[in-house]
């Protein structure tokens, strides 16, 4: 089964000519008063192209319509994932801690805390890599001073074949 999966990835999902894959803003949580957006990206070093072994994740907050940017406290983190033939599964290769900040918008669109990791190329082996990015916003509880909870979700970038560490 693992060999079939690898064959499908190799034939159906060829290596990107840009050396990177990035999702658009993905809705990962919608509630009555807010919406959480997330982005995930993976880049790999490709000689001759502007590239690097980088993983990206961004967190955004919106009004409940999931369109209008909203100012909230938020956090972002990411995992670099690697397809393990031996385990026939995606495994976490490297991770970041949480990056905290405030969401909002500027002339280019929504803004929020971002995570960035230079993951070092094929540190878990030559093969398929992806980024799983996590985005959460702080939802205050007005009945308890300082009370509240984190709410959000995650999204995963497309896969990239990584074989060069630079």
Q: What is the mean pLDDT of each run of 10 residues along the chain (166 residues)?
A: 37 50 94 98 73 90 98 98 94 97 96 95 91 98 87 96 75
Q: What is the pLDDT of residue 79?
A: 98
Q: Domain containing 62 — which CATH number? A: 2.60.40
Q: Where are the beta strands (DSSP E) in 44-126?
A: 54-62, 73-84, 89-95, 99-102, 104-106, 109-111, 114-118
| Residue 13 falls inside a structural domain | no
| Residue 14 falls inside a structural domain | no
Are the beta carbons of 156 and 26 closer than 8 angstroms?
no
Q: What is the pLDDT of residue 153?
A: 99
| Residue 11 falls inside a structural domain | no
| Residue 12 falls inside a structural domain | no
pTM of the model: 0.84
| Residue 4 falls inside a structural domain | no
Tell me how many domains the chain contains: 1
Q: What is the pLDDT of residue 48?
A: 65
CA separation for the pair 146, 142 (Å, rounded): 8
| Residue 7 falls inside a structural domain | no
CA separation for the pair 110, 119 (Å, rounded): 26
Full domain range(s) for residue 122: 23-162
| Residue 142 falls inside a structural domain | yes
What 3-state DSSP class applies to 103? coil
| Residue 10 falls inside a structural domain | no
Q: What is the pLDDT of residue 66?
A: 97
């Amino acid at each position: 089964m693992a060999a079939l999966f690898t064959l499908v990835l190799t034939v159906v999902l060829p290596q990107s000519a840009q050396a990177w894959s990035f999702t658009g803003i993905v809705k990962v949580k919608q509630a009555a008063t807010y919406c959480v957006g997330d982005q995930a990206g993976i880049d790999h070093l490709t000689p001759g192209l502007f590239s690097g072994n980088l993983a990206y994740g961004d967190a955004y907050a919106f009004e409940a319509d999931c369109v209008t940017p909203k100012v909230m406290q938020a956090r972002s983190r990411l995992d670099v994932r690697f397809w393990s033939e031996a385990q026939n599964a995606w495994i976490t290769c490297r991770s970041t801690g949480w990056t905290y900040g405030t969401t909002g918008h500027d002339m280019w669109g929504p803004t929020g805390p971002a995570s960035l990791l230079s993951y070092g190329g094929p540190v878990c082996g030559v093969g398929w890599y992806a980024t799983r990015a996590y985005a959460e916003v702080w939802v205050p509880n007005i009945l308890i001073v300082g009370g509240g909870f984190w709410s959000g979700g995650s999204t995963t970038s497309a896969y990239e074949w990584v074989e060069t560490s630079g």
